[in-house]
Amino acid sequence: MTSFGLVLGMGQSGYQWVGKNHVLTLLTTRNMEVAEYASSGNTSYQMRLLSFNESWGLQHKKVFEKDCFSPEFEKIGKEITLKCGGLPLAITVIAGFLSKIGKTLNEWQSVAEKVRSMVSTDVDVQCMRVLALSYHQLPHHLKTCFLYFAIFPEDEEIYVDKLVELLAAEGFLKVEETKSIEEVAEKCLQDLIDRSSLSIDYEIFFGETKYCRIHDVIREICLKEARNMNIENFIGENNGQNPSALSIHFSSNSRGRTSTQLNYRIIGKKLARSCPNNEARSIFFLNSKSGFMSELLPFRLVRVLDLALMNFIVFPSGLLDLIHLRYLALRLSPSVHYYLGKETPSSIDIPPSISRLCYLETFIICPPPYEELTAPLYPLILPSEILTMPQLRLLLLGWTESITPSGAAPLDPLRFLKMRGPSPTHAVPPLLLPPADAFPQNLKALTLCMTCLWWKDLSIVGKLPKLEVLKLIGDACKGKEWEAADHGFPRLKFLYLRDVDFQYWRAGCHHFPFLERLAILYCPYLDSIPQDFADITTLARISLTGCPESFGNSAKQIQQDMLDNYGNSSLVVNIVRHLLP
């Protein structure tokens, strides 16, 4: 019989607890009532506060080991540590703050005085006061980004790629002349992470999608400060519902901005009553629902509209009147009619009038729900006008059988294109790529997932003049051998392969002359990396997981060859051999 462990975090009162043999369950909670209820008579373990030496060790590691400080700073640091009351979260956040302020005794003494004034016999109150201090010391632009996390439900996995697009669409980021909008957003997020305001989770390998988490206690500070800027909580008809289903209305009068996060139970009248002037700038739907809410149409100034959890039979033409949209995510799912026995369209057409959304920067068409993967799929027809949209930077096609744009605009702004093919359960022909000159010519990053291309079709992709990132996932390509075309990928810097079933890779250094990062995950049939890659002098990192041992050996050999031939020991090789269950 198989045994396994289960870890549950932040339990709430009222859960039914069912014990089973051969299951080890670990539940963490700040509520002793929940712990006693879940323990089923077993002893619960109450975490103690850190001793001063433990607290100082944590503070020292995060601040003083990274830089040199005089004894005077250590003395102040110890005083601040003592006033944190042995609370690890408070110590960590204050440490992140101290690592960012200047190296003057006056600044550190000022922090010590503020922490000293917040001393309380209630450890929860003490912790909240220290965290609030950290928030109030954030620069203005970081406060804005931090408060934006109030729109996400508790414990939400917030994907960095999505967050970057949202922050850009909201206009929260100040564009710098020498940096892209993505670099500016990532810098803001990294600053918050460095200050321990956020935690970030990702696999060890470059290229794996990262996502942020915000600690529940820090989220309380976020919500409290956001309410001070006119945040209101909307709940559904049942006031006792799980707090994670709460909707949030954010308004900052100084910026004339409103963000609304709606639960599907909220009726249009309540929405209209909450926003009488139709001033909403951002609308997120938390729960799935079929159809389009006509109550959204009056919100003509909306910039961000996330309908990714709603099912639409056809493209909702009413969206075309929301001409200020910067970010649009929706799910087109004609399969709803299929299951109801109703007539279904032969294809899904994005109307040419989509070009009316002249400010649109991010357009996401999500794949059908998992439970609909057995239903027929329908070709997604894109108009050529979509490539003439002046601000469109990212286009994500959730499932694609064909691409029909017939030409690229000379000033095409599209930088990121993600295409997903149908599920392997569907017997459909491979994706048909247009000629290279019909592709967006300024494309910087391309992701292909389950597109079932032939490997030879990548010769078209290799002709894209500015392509720097290529990600192949799932059955992106089919066939046992990938033989790179003569022209290769002249500008590619990052190649990411995951769950791609091929055995032979015929390529040399001249095919990837500027490759910097190579990440290969779960490719069990591929036995080696081309040894000629040792002559790619720009190669800085190879990351492998779930690959045969021989594959890891070939990566180490490349590392050794680069050291022997060029005296270059900067190539980093990360290998994890675990396989997916």
- Give tens-digit pLDDT for 487-514: 999 999 999 999 998 999 999 999 999 9
Which residue has better confidence, 216 or 316?
Answer: 316
Structure tokens at 580: 């997916």
Domain CATH number, residue 181: 1.10.10
> According to the model, what pLDDT value does residue 30 have?
58
Checking 106-112 for CB contacts under 8 A at 24+ apart, the result is: 108/73, 108/76, 108/77, 108/80, 109/76, 111/76, 111/80, 111/137, 112/76, 112/79, 112/80, 112/83
410 within a domain of the structure (yes/no): no
Which residue has better confidence, 33 or 380?
Answer: 380
Question: Of the ranges 174-178, 265-269, 566-570, 572-576, which is most confident?
Answer: 572-576
Say if residue 570 is in the same domain as residue 474: yes
Say if residue 25 is in the same domain as residue 87: no
Say if residue 114 is in the same domain as residue 149: no
Say if residue 462 is in the same domain as residue 570: yes
535 within a domain of the structure (yes/no): yes
> According to the model, what pLDDT value does residue 6 have?
46
**DSSP element (H, E) containing 375:** none
Q: Which range, of 123-137, 261-275, 377-391, 531-545, averages the lowest pLDDT?
A: 261-275
**In this model, does residue 401 exceed pLDDT 50?**
yes
Structure tokens at 270: 């309540």
> According to the model, what pLDDT value does residue 538 have?
93
95 within a domain of the structure (yes/no): yes
What single letter denotes the amino acid at residue 320?
Answer: L
Q: Give the bridge partners for 330, in sequence order.
A: 307, 365
Domain boundary among 103, 137, 171: 137
**DSSP element (H, E) containing 344:** none
Give the whole-angstrom CA distance, residue 434 versus residue 430: 13
Say if residue 480 is in the same domain as residue 573: yes
Domain boundary among 112, 137, 162: 137
523 within a domain of the structure (yes/no): yes
> According to the model, what pLDDT value does residue 24 have?
59
Say if residue 15 is in the same domain as residue 83: no
Which residue has better confidence, 123 or 386?
Answer: 386
Domain boundary among 216, 240, 255: 216
Say if residue 18 is in the same domain as residue 58: no
The answer to whether 426 and 377 are in contact (CB under 8 A) is yes
Radius of gyration (Cα) for the chain, nearest Å? 26
> According to the model, what pLDDT value does residue 299 have?
76
**DSSP element (H, E) containing 113:** helix 105-116
pLDDT in tens, 216-234: 777 878 888 877 776 544 4
How many domains does the chain contain in total?
4
* Helices and strands, number each (H, E), in the chain: 14, 27
The CA–CA distances, whole Å, from 280 to 237, 296, 324 equal 22, 10, 12
Say if residue 527 is in the same domain as residue 557: yes
pLDDT in tens, 22-77: 555 666 665 666 666 766 666 676 666 778 888 888 888 888 887 788 888 888 88
Pairing mode of beta strands 257-262, 247-252: antiparallel
Say if residue 181 is in the same domain as residue 129: no
- pTM, whole model, 2 decimals? 0.76
* DSSP notation for 406-460: ----TT----EEEEE---TTS--PPPBPPPGGGS-TT--EEEEES--EEGGGHHH
Burial annotation 503-539 (CB, 10 A radius, 16+ → b, else e): eebebebebbbebbbbbbbbbeebbbbbeebbbbeeb
pLDDT in tens, 176-203: 777 888 788 888 888 887 777 666 554 4
pLDDT in tens, 112-143: 887 777 666 566 676 777 777 778 878 888 88
42 within a domain of the structure (yes/no): yes
Contacts of 503 (CB under 8 A, 6+ apart): 480, 481, 525, 526, 527
Give the whole-angstrom CA distance, residue 345 versus residue 313: 9
Give the whole-angstrom CA distance, residue 505 versus residue 484: 8
Give the whole-angstrom CA distance, residue 401 versus residue 399: 7
> According to the model, what pLDDT value does residue 307 have?
84
Confidence of residue 246 (pLDDT cuts 50, 70, 90): very low
**In this model, does residue 555 exceed pLDDT 50?**
yes
Contacts of 366 (CB under 8 A, 6+ apart): 308, 329, 330, 331, 396, 398
Start-end of H helices in 15-64: 32-38, 52-59
Q: Residue 196 sits in which domain range?
A: 140-216
Say if residue 162 is in the same domain as residue 89: no
30 within a domain of the structure (yes/no): yes
Say if residue 460 is in the same domain as residue 568: yes
With H, G, I as helix, E, B as strand and everything else as coil, classify residue 80: helix
Give the whole-angstrom CA distance, residue 175 versus residue 356: 25
31 within a domain of the structure (yes/no): yes
Contacts of 521 (CB under 8 A, 6+ apart): 205, 208, 497, 498, 499, 544, 545, 546, 547
396 within a domain of the structure (yes/no): no
Domain CATH number, residue 112: 1.10.8
Contacts of 550 (CB under 8 A, 6+ apart): 527, 528
Contacts of 392 (CB under 8 A, 6+ apart): 360, 361, 362, 363, 386, 413, 414
What angle, rounded to 10 degrees, do the helices at 105-116 and 71-83 form?
Answer: 20
The answer to whether 304 and 329 are in contact (CB under 8 A) is no
Say if residue 62 is in the same domain as residue 174: no
